[in-house]
Chain A
Amino acid sequence: MSDRLRVKKTYKLYVGGKFPRSESGRSYPVASPDGTELANAALASRKDARDAVAAARNAQRPWAGQTAYLRGQILYRAAEMLEGRAGQFAEELADATGADPHEALGTVEQAIDRLVHYAGWTDKYTSVLGGANPVAGPYFNHTTPEPLGVVAVVAPQDDPLLGLIDAIAPAIATGNTVVVLASESKPLPALSLGEVLATSDLPGGVVNLLSGKTAEVAPHLASHADVNGLDLRGVADADLAASLEAAAAETLKVVRRPGKDGNALDLLRQWTEYKTVWHPAGMAAGAGGAY
C-alpha cells in the first residue's frame, strides 16, 4: 500500500463550466505557510480574464432569468456537494492556511452553512429591498432590485474558502455572474470549489475562478468595459486598490472598497441596482378628468 504512487491533482482554472489550463500555458507553485510545496496552479493571464468575463456575460441573462426558487435550490445543491467533500476541503484549507485540521473543518462547515443561508435569500431579497412607492399621481410605481450584471471579485487573501463564499454567494444569489480572482497564495480551495459548483447544477459561466497574480490580472478586470461591479475586499495593497478603483471609474463600475464588511443584506444590496417601473393606473371615463 505505502508503495503506491499518489495521484496528484492538477489545479486548473474554472471558466464557463470547463476546467482549462491557462491559455498562457503558465503555472505557479503553491506552498503552505510552512513552505511545503502543495501543487502547481494555473497562472491566469489577461486573456484568461477576458475569456472568463465573456463566459460570465453569456451566462448572466439566463441565470438572472431563472426563477429565484431555482437559484436557491442550486445554491443549496452546492452546499450539499460541499458537505459531501467537507473532509477534502478541510485538508486543503489546513494545508493552505496552516490551521489545525479540526479548526479547518469548522471553517468548512461555516462555509457550507453560509451557502445554505444565501440559498434561502434568493426568493426574499427582492421583497425586502424593493417595494411599491406611493407616488402623488395616478400611477402604479414599483421598485425592485436587479442584478448589476458581471461582477469581478478579488477574493480575500487569507480566508480562502469562507471569505470566497462570502464574496460569491451574495453576488450570484442576486442573479449576477462572477469572475473571481482567487487568493494569490492560497488558491487551491477556490479551484476545488469549482469542482463542487460544476456538479451542483450551477450553469457554466455563472462562477468563473481564476488563480494567478492579483497585480497582473486584477487591472484587466477593473478596466474591462463589460464588467459592471468590482469587489476589492481581497486587495491588501492600498495603492493597488486605489488604482483599481480609478480604473473602474472609467466605465463607472460599482466598487466595493477593501476593508468594509457587511451583513448579508448589505452584501446582497451591493450587487443589485434598483429598477423603478411606472404605469398609469386608471380606466374609467367620466371622473371629470384632471381639469
Chain B
Amino acid sequence: MGSILSGAEAASLVRALPGVDAVGLEARAAGLSTRSVKTTSKAWAIDLAISMIDLTTLEGADTPGKVRSLAAKALRPDGDAPSTAAVCVYPSMVAVAKEALAGSGVLVASVATGFPAGQVPLDVRLADTESAVRAGADEIDMVINRGAFLAGDLERVFHEIKAVKAAAGDARLKVILETGELATYDDVRRASWLAMYAGADFIKTSTGKVGVNATLPVTLLMMQAVRDYRALTGVQVGVKPAGGIRNTKDAIKYLVTVNETLGDDWLRNEWFRFGASSLLNDLLMQRQKLKTGHYSGPDYVTVD
C-alpha cells in the first residue's frame, strides 16, 4: 500500500508524537516478564515461537552449503516440531535458499539496502533490493538511513523507505530501525511511525550487528506503535525483534508481550517474527524436556 502522506506531512506528524516515559515503559516490560508460563501453555508457546523464527545467517563466511544446511533445519527443525517462518540470508544467497525451500511454505527473507549500515547510495540500495527480489526473495529486510534520521532529515528517510517499498514489489517489506543506534525511546517511536507511514509491512528492531539489539521494552514500544497505527488507519503492520533473543524464556516473554499488547491478531507468524539463529535450538531442547521430563543437552539438537 502506498502512503497517502507527503514526506513533509509524515515528518511533521512523527515529530508531534507524544513522548515515551522510559522508566514506565521498562517497568511495564519487566511486569510482563514476570508472567509464568507452564506446562501446556508453554508447549504451545514453544511451537508458536519456532514457527515465528526467521532463521538467520548473515556472515561473510556464508556459503551455499551453510545456507542449505540452515534451510533443511528451518523445514524440519526436530521431529514433529513446526517449520520456522523463513530463512533470512544475504541477497547473494537468496537463490540457494529458494531452491532448498521450494514448495515448502518456508519463506525466504533477504536483508538488502546495503545491510547492515545502509551507508551506500540509494540507487545501489535499490539495486540490491531488486536483485534480491529477482532471485526469489519473499520478504525484504531493509535498514533505514540512521544517519539521515539522526541528522533530522526525516523526509529523506521516509522517501527512501517508499522507494525501497516500490523496488520490493510484491515482497513484504520489513523495515529495520536499528534501535540500538537511535538510542532513545522517543526516536524509536518516531522511526516506527515514519516507517509505517512510508509503507512498511513489518517494523524490525535490529540488524544484530550493533552492540544493542532487540530488548523487550523497545519491542513493546514498537508493538504499541503498530497497535495504534492499526487503530488509526486500519492497516496492520508486523513486528520483528531481532538479535539477542537466545533462549526459550526470553522468547516466551516476547510472546506474552504480544499477547497482552496486541492480542490474537498478531500471534501468528504472518505478523510477528523472531530474527534469531541460536534461539531455535534452545526452543527445541525445551521442547524435548517437556516431552521427556528431563533436561536436554546441545548434542541432542543439530548444529547447522
Contacts and interface: CB of A to CB of B under 8 A. Distances in A.
Chains A and B directly touch (beta carbon < 8 Å) = yes
A285 B182 contact: yes
Contacts of A286: 179-180, 183, 212, 215, 218
Contacts of B180: 286
A279 to B, nearest CB: 9
B22 interface: yes
Contact of A282 (B22, B30, B33, B212): B22
Interface in B19-46: 21-24, 26-27, 29-30, 33
Interface in B152-188: 179-180, 182-185, 187-188
Nearest to A279: B23
Contacts of A282: 22-23, 26
Interface in B55-97: none
A271 B197 CA distance: 57
A262 interface: no
B137 interface: no
A281 B21 CA distance: 9
B227 interface: no
A288 interface: yes
Contact of B188 (A138, A280, A285, A289): A285
Interface residues of A, number: 14
A254 to B, nearest CB: 34
B21 A285 contact: no
B217 A289 contact: yes
A281 to B, nearest CB: 7
A46 to B, nearest CB: 51
Contacts of A28: none
A290 B30 contact: yes
Contacts of A281: 23
A199 B30 CA distance: 61
Contacts of B221: 285
B193 to A, nearest CB: 16
B216 A291 contact: yes
13 contacts: A138-B23, A280-B23, A281-B23, A282-B23, A285-B184, A285-B185, A285-B188, A285-B217, A286-B180, A286-B183, A289-B30, A289-B216, A290-B217
Interface of A: 138-139, 280-291
9 residue pairs, one from A and one from B, having the closest CB atoms: A280-B23, A290-B30, A286-B212, A289-B217, A291-B33, A282-B22, A282-B23, A285-B185, A290-B26
